[in-house]
Structure formats: structure tokens, C-alpha cells
Structure 1
Amino acid sequence: MEDISRSWWLLLVRGIAAIVFGILALIWPGLTLLVLVIFFGAYALVSGVFALMAGFRHGARSRAWLIISGILGILAGIVAFIWPGLSSLALLFIIAFWAILTGVAEVVAGIQLRKVIDNEWMLIVGGVLSVIFGLLLLGWPGAGLLSLLWLIGVFAIMYGIAMIVLSIRVRNFTPTPGMP
């Protein structure tokens, strides 16, 4: 714990960076979306190149899947750079369908768990809310993208505040006698 308390300022810097990012995300949501798509494109491109390289180095059994994965990653990265608007919309649709499918799964699980646990209705309500969220994203994709960016911004600010508070608590840490 003493090591952590000596580097309390790292937590403080993380917190400040998160707050700055959150504020910028709220002020410039369009720019934030573009940066996120570019980061995704860079990640997909690099990941695709390395998967492709691994595909040519591995045995015949896993070679095809790695090569396919690498090609898809490279294509996804190129698409993100050439058509960032399309990429951001595709990301929104992935999130929407994920929310709908997991929501349905939670409703089904809640119904099946009715005989096993109490308060299963909370799982069902959570599933229904997830389905509604996904449907709203599909129905209003522009507003959905903006809402997701706002959520990211608010989350970053709250996370930053938590890191700053933690850094202050860790900085003021004094070991209790007899504690290791």
C-alpha cells in the first residue's frame, strides 16, 4: 500500500485526464465520434495485419481463420478511415443489436428462473429496458449516436472524479501499526 501511496499522483493525473476527455466529449461530440472511429480504424488495421502475419506463420489448422480474421480487420480499418460516418453508424447498429439480443436473453432467463429465485422480475425488467434501448437506437440512429457520446462524456467525468478522490485518499494513507 505504501508503494501505491507514493504514486498517488498517477491516479490524480488519470482522473484529471478523464475529466478533460469527458468535458471535451460533451462540448465536441462530433469530433469525439471521429476520434473514436479513427482509433477503432487504427486498432482494426493493426490487429488485422498481425492476425494476417500470424496466419502465414501458423500451421494449416488455424491458418485459414487467422488469414480471414486478418483480412476482415484490415478491411474494417480501411473502411473506418475512408467512411468514418458509415463506421460510426455500423458501431451504433452493433450496439443496438447487442442490446436487443442480450435483453431478450435476459427476459428468457428471468422467466426460466421464476421457480428458482425470488425477484426474477428485476432481470426481466432489465432485459426489457435493454430491448427498448436497442430499438430506440435503431429508430433514431442520429440521436442514438449523440446520446452514446454524452454517456461516454458523463462516464468519463464521473470516473475522473472517482480517481481524483481515490488519489487524495491514497496520498493521505498512513499505515496502521501492526498492519502489513
Structure 2
Amino acid sequence: MRRQLMWMLVARGAAALLFGVVALVWPGVTVLALALLFGVYALADGLALLASAFRRQGDGAHRAAHATGGVLGIAVGVVSIGWPGVTALALAALTGAWAVVTGVAEIWAAVRFRRELHHEWVLFLAGAVSVAAGALLWARPDVGAIGIAQVIGVYALVSGALVLAAARRLRGAATTGHPVRHARHA
């Protein structure tokens, strides 16, 4: 179970980093290209979460959370790819909603599965960054495509790095065979 979770986190983290770099390197992209790029990212993230939901055994609530996040990511990705002529304002609202929902789900998972996760604060922090980025996009959707690309790019880089850090912690725990907990909680 840890191995599957670790690889799901690696896939999500790598996709976020790639998306973040592209969004920051080419911030002047048109809204059309940004919508397509975001759509591919959200679709890949959703597929990874959905695959994880069907591969996992055990806790039904965790599987349901992954399935819900996966379906949402796939839906957002399909809408973004199928409707690339979306305005900057609509893209900000769509991206902001996705970031807030994803962030709340990550915070919930960090709290709910704190006994199974090592350094659950990393997942909690990734969720908080996601919620903050979504709120920023909702608060200032008028900043235009370049501003949106920069906010999304920074968010994706930070979130991707935190998710990869969580995967590394799981890998370290799996390699040593030790339970995935803080020493002070043991």
C-alpha cells in the first residue's frame, strides 16, 4: 500500500513540477495555451488519483477521497482541453476552485491519515499552499494571463516539491521497514 501511495505521489509531484516550470518559463502564453496546459496537468493528476483509488486496498473513505479527487481532476482537465477559448477570468475561477478543493482534500488526508503518514505536515502544507493559491486566484482574477500563469506556476512548483517530499518520506520508511511515524508520537 505504501509503495502504491509513494508512486502516486511521485507522479503527481513530477507533473506539478513540470507544469510549474512551463508556466513560469512561458508566462506570456495566451489564455488558450494556458488552458490547454492546465487541462493536461489536471487530467494527468486526476488519472493518477483515480488509478490510486482502484489499486488501493483497505480504507473505503481514503479510496473514495482519491476517486472523488480523480473524477474532479479529470472533469476539470476535459473542460479545460475541450473549451480552450476560456477567458482569463473563467480560467482563474476554474483553477482557483480546483486548487481549493484539492487543497482541502490534502489537508483532510493529512489529518485523517496522520497515523499512517510520516511527517504528515508536508501533505498538510501542500494542501494549505493549494488553498492559498486558489483563494488568491479568486481574489484577483483580473490580473490577466501572465499573472495567472505566475501564480499557478509558483503554486505548482511548491506543491510538487512538497508532494515529492512526502513520497520520499514514504520511500524512506518502506526501505527501512520502520513504521511511518514521528519518534515523539510512537
Please tell me the TM-score bracket, short chain as reference: 0.3 to 0.5
Identify the structure with the greater helix proportion.
1
Larger Rg: 1
Larger relative contact order, structure 1 or 2 (CA cutoff 8 Å, min sep 6): 1
Q: What TM-score comes out, normalization by structure 2 length? A: 0.39
